[in-house]
Amino acid sequence: MTAASLALIVAIGLLGPVLSARAAWRVPVVVGELAGGLLIGDTGLRLVDPHTDAFRLLANIGFGLTMVVVGSQIPLRDPRLRSTVGLRGLAGAAVAGVAAAILGVVLATAFGTGHAAMYAVVLASSSAAVVLPMLGSVGLSSAGLGPLIAQIAVADLVCIVALPFAVAPQDAGPAAIGAVVIAAVSIALVVVLPRLDRNGLRRRMHAYSERRRFALELRLSMLVLFVFAAIAQTAQLSIMLAGFALGLVLSAIGEPHRLARQLFGMTEGFFGPLFFVWLGASLDLRDLGGHPWMVLLGVSLGASAVIAHTASRAAGLPWSQAVVSAGQLGVPVAAVALGLQAGGLLPGEGSALLLGALISVAVAAVAVGALARRTQQHPLATVGDSQA
């Protein structure tokens, strides 16, 4: 890894903001970054080697930080998650999960991949990091979308925790121990940190850090992230779970605005785009040419995700919102990253997973636009639609 390679990676990562510049397209920024990685990696010009230890290490840090941001966006402090609205969201996620499990078995059997568990987790997932910004971009307030927000949050949380076990079930024993340790430390932090806040210690540290420009909160957050990552690595887990756990801790205690800006800057300014460029560079889409049935698998995954989430209509979620909840990107991307690291994916299967995710995001974007138009025409539609 050289300075020239890093310059190229950062430059290619700018494709993300370029493709996302037109708001009407609603293209997630990661799509451009993945496309840039495909261009300079194994699929395209092979200007970078994604298999070097240095590139993988930087990408893993980016993966962890990306999951910190995703976890911090789960609205754990939202009282609606603990109300009847939250119960409806939980029921919707459960119904979608059952449908996803059935469809996962069907797809794994039909295509002979043997990855039913992985498909089930991917199909059941939603992406808060993708769907919530799409809702905000068209002026939809979360106030009238409580069950939808709750369902997305529950699906995101459960699927991200379950994914490492679905991708590498042979490591389930050590992984379970590692997950329990990370969960225990996370719960301890959620209990202890608010007490430090109440006695004024956290506030004094924040003021001291800001006055002396030490960025102590960021340093301590990175320390926790890498401690969690070390536990995960020892237990043969992914840094994905470490980052997500830290993000949930920050969400539960209330992330300071200054720390949120610092983490966002580190992640979106360098490490996040680098991870997605690495992921794109690691994929070889030429495998799809030799295995055209993987294209069909990708289309089937995208369609199945939409079908699984529309099943949540049985729990009372309106049709339009059920389709919106099908938008998924984080878990499929994580599945590809974990699969590449474990060497468990078939040729072209990683590309098929990403194709399915992009189809689900495209369908969700169309549904968001339709929901926005309906809401503008009938301001009570998001509530009244649930009675239809």
Query: Is the C-alpha dihedral spanning 301, 305, 306, 307 positive or negative?
Result: positive
Provide the residue range defining the domain that includes 235.
3-48+59-375
**Does residue 270 form part of some domain?**
yes
**Does residue 386 form part of some domain?**
no
- Greater confidence (86 vs 62) lies with 62
Q: What is the pTM of this model?
A: 0.80
Domains contained in the chain, number: 1
Choose among 75, 87, 92, 62: nearest CA to 135.
75
For residue 384, pLDDT beyond 60: no
**Does residue 341 form part of some domain?**
yes
Confidence (pLDDT) at 246: 94
Confidence (pLDDT) at 29: 81
Q: What percent of the chain has pLDDT over 70?
A: 91
**Does residue 54 form part of some domain?**
no
Token readout for 381 is 């539609």
For residue 64, pLDDT beyond 60: yes
Q: What is the CATH number of the domain that holds 159?
A: 1.20.1530.20
Mean pLDDT for the stretch of residues 243-271? 89
Q: Give the chain's mean pLDDT.
A: 85
Residues 188, 177: Cα–Cα separation, whole Å: 17
Choose among 103, 81, 60: nearest CA to 155.
81
Cβ burial, residue 70 (10 Å; 0-12/13-18/19+): buried
- Greater confidence (332 vs 285) lies with 332
User: pLDDT tens-digit profile of 101-153?
Assistant: 999 999 999 999 999 999 999 999 988 777 876 776 666 665 567 788 888 88
**Does residue 383 form part of some domain?**
no
Choose among 286, 306, 313, 295: nearest CA to 147.
313
For residue 360, pLDDT beyond 80: yes
**Does residue 384 form part of some domain?**
no
Confidence (pLDDT) at 103: 97
Mean pLDDT for the stretch of residues 15-38? 81
Give the pLDDT band of residue 82 (cuts 50, 70, 90). low
Confidence (pLDDT) at 344: 84
Half-sphere exposure of 101 (CA within 13 A, CB side): 8
User: pLDDT tens-digit profile of 309-333?
Assistant: 999 998 888 888 899 999 888 889 8
**Does residue 336 form part of some domain?**
yes
Mean pLDDT for the stretch of residues 205-233? 90
Confidence (pLDDT) at 111: 94
For residue 90, pLDDT beyond 60: yes
**Does residue 146 form part of some domain?**
yes
Give the pLDDT band of residue 76 (cuts 50, 70, 90). confident
Q: Which residues contact 387 (CB under 8 A, 6 or more apart)?
A: none
The distance in angstroms from the start CA to the end CA of the chain is 57
For residue 207, pLDDT beyond 90: no
